[in-house]
């Protein structure tokens, strides 16, 4: 079964989608979309690092993402510039440094487009193992972190006063995000990863009445988008990564259309004494 490249692609897409959905919910709730984007862009610098020192890609990407998060925290402490501006600086400069660094290594031949937009059809069995293994680890960590992370998302001070260590949970969440970006890179590419985090979560918001259902629905929506996108790509011979994002957008728009009236009716029924 795994001999077929398309089956491998489907499984890889599912493996990422089921974890990107719940994680993406926190990205939406905590308004960290730009932060996710910055981490993803810094991944190219990680790849350059890996190629220069002949390291494995995944740890190098993870390392750079962690360094960028740390740099952000330090720059935030310094004050003076908004987080938004700091992320803009970090996001694009890490991407640019990555591209420049790759140009300094003419001896390495890299498929730049594959890194930027994903190459899910080239997923190997080893990649698949990394994706599903990583996804399971992140899922377990998220399950354990759920209460402190959610409490800290609602209000960090409340969480802190009531013994939930929100700063620790936040740092752990950033690392999980870096890890998922590192393993998802191959699927949709550096430039489109954030879409896989944000769009399914945003779609799920329409159907959810609790944080937990939103996370589950986001996982399902992500799985549908990834599978649908791959068939779209197969049928119309379109690039696979962008096709997945287009499929996710279509689901988002579909959820947008008939629902506002239904949702309002449901909340008024619930709100009635």
Partner 1 sequence: MTDPMSRPRAQPLIDMRGVGVSRSGRWLVQGVDLVIRPGEIVTLIGPNGSGKTTTAKTAVGILKPDSGRVDRARDLVVGYVPQKLAIDRSLPMRVARMMTLTTKAGAGAVEAALDRVGIAHLARAQVHDLSGGEFQRALLARAMLRRPDLLVLDEPVQGVDFSGEIALYELISELRDSEGCAVLLISHDLHVVMAKTDRVICLNGHVCCEGSPSSVAASPAYRQLFGDRAAEALAVYRHHHDHTHLPGGEISYPARHDHDDGDGYAHGHRHGDGPCSHAHGTTREADAAGRPGDADEADARAVEDHHA
Spatial neighbors of 272 by CB under 8 A, at least 6 apart, are none
Give least dist CB 169 to partner 1, A: 12
- A 10 A CB-CB count for 103 gives 9
Q: Which of 6, 30, 63, 249 binds partner 1 (CB under 8 A)?
A: 30
Q: Does 159 bind partner 1 (CB under 8 A)?
A: yes
Which listed residue (5, 31, 56, 254) binds partner 1 by CB under 8 A? 31
Return d(Cα 240, Cα 224) in angstroms, integer.
Answer: 14
Taken in order 105, 106, 110, 113, the sign of the CA dihedral is positive
3 binds partner 1 (CB under 8 A): no
Size of the site for partner 1 (CB under 8 A): 35
Token readout for 11 is 């499984």
DSSP count for the chain of H helices, then E strands: 12, 0
- Residue 153 near partner 1 by CB under 8 A: yes
Judged by CB under 8 A, the residue of 80, 106, 163, 258 near partner 1 is 163
Give the span between the Cα atoms of 15 and 126, in whole angstroms: 13
User: According to the binding rule CB under 8 A, does residue 155 interact with partner 1?
Assistant: yes
Residue where the block lists tokens 């957008």: 249
Taking the alpha carbons at both ends of the chain, their separation in whole angstroms is: 55
Q: Does 144 bind partner 1 (CB under 8 A)?
A: no
Pick from 210, 236, 237, 258 the residue near partner 1 by CB under 8 A: 210
* Residue 162 is a binding residue for partner 1 (CB under 8 A): yes
Compare residues 203 and 240 and give the one whose CB is closer to partner 1.
203
Among 154, 168, 253, 259, interactor with partner 1 by CB under 8 A: 154
User: Which residues fall within 8 angstroms of residue 60, CB to CB, at 6 or more apart?
Assistant: 46, 47, 49, 50, 53
Radius of gyration of the chain (CA): 19
Q: Does 255 bind partner 1 (CB under 8 A)?
A: no
**Would you count residue 122 as binding partner 1 (CB under 8 A)?**
no
Binding flag, residue 80, partner 1 (CB under 8 A): no
Neighbouring CB atoms inside 10 A of 169's CB total 23
Q: Does 28 bind partner 1 (CB under 8 A)?
A: yes
Only segment of 29-37, 47-55, 188-196, 233-241 that touches partner 1 (CB under 8 A):
29-37
**Of 17 and 202, CB closest to partner 1:** 202
The CA-atom distances, in angstroms, between 53 and each of 49, 60, 82, 99, 103 are: 6, 10, 35, 16, 15
Work out whether 89 is an interface residue with partner 1 (CB under 8 A).
Answer: no
Record the tokens describing residue 249, joined without a space: 């957008």
Q: Which span (76-84, 183-191, 225-233, 244-252) binds partner 1, by CB under 8 A?
A: 76-84
Task: Determine the Cα–Cα distance for residues 243 and 234; give it in Å rounded to an integer.
Answer: 10
Which span sits near partner 1 by CB under 8 A: 128-136, 160-168, 174-182, 232-240?
160-168
Instruction: From 86, 105, 133, select the one nearest 45 (Cα to Cα).
Output: 105
Residues at the contact surface with partner 1, assessed by CB under 8 A: 28-31, 76, 82-84, 147, 150-151, 153-164, 202, 205, 208-211, 213-214, 267, 270-271, 273
């Amino acid at each position: 079964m795994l001999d077929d490249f398309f089956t491998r692609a489907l499984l890889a897409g599912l493996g990422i989608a089921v974890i990107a959905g719940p994680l993406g919910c926190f990205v939406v709730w905590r308004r960290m979309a730009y932060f996710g984007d910055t981490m993803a862009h810094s991944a190219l610098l990680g790849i350059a690092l890996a190629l220069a020192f002949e390291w494995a890609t995944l740890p190098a990407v993870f390392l750079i993402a962690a360094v960028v998060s740390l740099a952000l925290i330090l720059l935030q402490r310094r004050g003076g510039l908004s987080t938004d501006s700091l992320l803009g600086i970090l996001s694009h400069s890490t991407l640019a440094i990555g591209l420049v660094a790759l140009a300094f290594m003419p001896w390495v031949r890299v498929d730049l487009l594959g890194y930027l937009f994903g190459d899910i059809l080239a997923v190997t069995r080893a990649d698949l193992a990394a994706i599903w293994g990583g996804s399971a680890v992140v899922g377990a960590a998220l399950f354990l972190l759920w209460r402190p992370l959610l409490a800290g998302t609602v209000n960090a001070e409340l969480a802190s006063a009531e013994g939930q260590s929100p700063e620790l949970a936040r740092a752990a969440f950033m690392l999980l995000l870096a890890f998922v970006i590192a393993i998802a890179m191959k699927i949709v590419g550096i430039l489109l990863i954030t879409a896989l985090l944000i769009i399914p979560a945003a779609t799920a918001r329409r159907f959810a009445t609790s944080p937990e259902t939103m996370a589950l629905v986001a996982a399902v929506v992500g799985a549908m988008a990834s599978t649908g996108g791959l068939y779209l790509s197969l049928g119309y011979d379109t690039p696979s990564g962008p096709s997945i994002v287009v499929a996710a957008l279509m689901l988002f728009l579909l959820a947008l259309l008939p629902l506002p009236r239904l949702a309002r009716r449901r909340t008024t029924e619930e709100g009635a004494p």
